[in-house]
């Protein structure tokens, strides 16, 4: 849904946010002295192009069978860093507890469906990742970041569908069913909701002027993060200790394609 002329701006925000993710990777790499085993739920090659130290990671990208997140121009040497698997964020039972040094999930959790689905996905992410990074768009931000319409995500689903259908006529090519189903799977989260999903972990917000643009849940940070701050433009977080691994061992909505359930971007749920 994101117009091409806004994609550079979106990438700039992502790169700025991912500078903090890169710092986590540096810390973990220094501790372990080997490439990190990373599971990226709903991940893509494009996301990792904004992480400058990705060479320190061996990355598993987990997506739906029909997800198409890999069509970006990268060299063969770069592509060899990734393993792509098909799976469901709500059920990662193929991996035992603590299988990955780091689990990432960027702008995916808000697409998995009902609150119970988000609960299941959050529990699984927390279980398989010794450390974790889960980012979601902020409900408090006045612009809905998939449809690029103001305030529509603050209304009930029927009203949101009506507004998207009438204000984003370019999306009518999806048909009513496609727009209706897509809106049902756009659920930005308030900071308190993300804290409910990850009650023991750091929760901080990325700000744009006076509004939080996104929220991030982190766990297992090996070194202290930035000082907590409630000031817009700063990161707010509370520290936690690094758990010991039990073992070492998917940003924008896509046009719906035929599938068994949700017809949109979420790369890790049916």
Question: What is the residue range of 136's domain?
Answer: 4-140+188-219
Q: What's the half-sphere exposure (Cβ side, CA atoms, 13 Å) at 241?
A: 3
Q: What is the pLDDT of residue 66?
A: 64
Would residue 146 count as lying in a domain? Answer: no
CB-based contacts of 83, cutoff 8 Å, min separation 6: 58, 59, 60, 61
Q: What is the pLDDT of residue 65?
A: 77
Going by their DSSP bridges, the two strands 82-86 and 149-150 should be labelled as unpaired
The answer to whether 63 and 250 are in contact (CB under 8 A) is: yes
CA angle 212-108-245, nearest 5°?
Answer: 100
Would residue 64 count as lying in a domain? Answer: yes
pTM exceeds 0.75, yes or no? yes
**Average pLDDT for runs of 10 along the chain of length 270:** 61 79 94 96 90 95 76 77 93 98 96 96 98 97 94 96 96 95 95 98 93 95 44 36 38 40 38
Provide the number of structural domains found in the chain: 1
Would residue 207 count as lying in a domain? Answer: yes
Q: What is the pLDDT of residue 1?
A: 55
DSSP-assigned states of every residue in 37-54: EEEEET--HHHHTT-TTG
Would residue 24 count as lying in a domain? Answer: yes
Q: What is the CB neighbour count within 10 angstroms for residue 260? A: 9
Q: What's the half-sphere exposure (Cβ side, CA atoms, 13 Å) at 101?
A: 20
Would residue 36 count as lying in a domain? Answer: yes
Would residue 62 count as lying in a domain? Answer: yes
Q: What is the pLDDT of residue 252?
A: 37
d(CA 130, CA 123): 13
SS3 (DSSP) at 245: coil
Would residue 233 count as lying in a domain? Answer: no
Would residue 15 count as lying in a domain? Answer: yes
Q: What is the pLDDT of residue 164?
A: 96
Q: What is the pLDDT of residue 23?
A: 93
Q: Pick from 155, 158, 150, 95: which is nearest to 126 by CA?
A: 95
Q: What is the pLDDT of residue 13?
A: 72
Name the residue with tokens 């909701």. Answer: 193
The answer to whether 58 and 36 are in contact (CB under 8 A) is: yes
**Which domain CATH number covers 92?**
3.40.50.150
d(CA 270, CA 264): 10
d(CA 237, CA 191): 12
């Amino acid at each position: 849904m994101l117009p091409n002329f806004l994609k550079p701006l979106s990438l700039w925000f992502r790169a700025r946010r991912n500078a903090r993710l890169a710092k986590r990777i540096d810390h973990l790499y220094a501790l372990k002295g080997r490439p990190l085993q990373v599971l990226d739920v709903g991940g893509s090659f494009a996301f990792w192009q904004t992480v400058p130290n990705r060479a320190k990671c061996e990355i598993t990208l987990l997506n739906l069978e029909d997800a198409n997140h890999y069509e970006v121009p990268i060299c063969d040497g770069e592509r060899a860093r990734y393993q792509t698997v098909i799976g469901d964020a709500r059920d990662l039972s193929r991996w035992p507890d603590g299988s990955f040094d780091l689990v990432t999930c960027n702008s995916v959790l808000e697409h998995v469906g009902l609150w119970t689905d988000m609960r299941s996905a959050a529990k699984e992410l927390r279980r398989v990742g010794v450390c974790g990074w889960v980012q979601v768009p902020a409900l408090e931000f006045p612009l809905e970041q998939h449809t690029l319409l103001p305030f529509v995500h603050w209304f009930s689903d029927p009203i949101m569908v009506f507004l998207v259908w009438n204000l984003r006529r370019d999306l009518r090519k999806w048909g009513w069913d496609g727009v209706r189903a897509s809106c049902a799977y756009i659920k930005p989260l308030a900071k308190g909701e993300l804290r409910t999903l990850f009650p023991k972990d750091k929760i901080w917000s990325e700000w744009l002027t006076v509004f939080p643009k996104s929220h991030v849940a982190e766990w297992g940070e090996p070194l202290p993060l930035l000082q907590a701050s409630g000031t817009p433009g700063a990161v707010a977080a509370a520290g936690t200790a690094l758990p010991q691994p039990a073992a070492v061992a998917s940003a924008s909505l896509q046009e719906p394609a035929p599938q068994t359930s949700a017809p949109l971007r979420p790369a890790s749920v049916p």
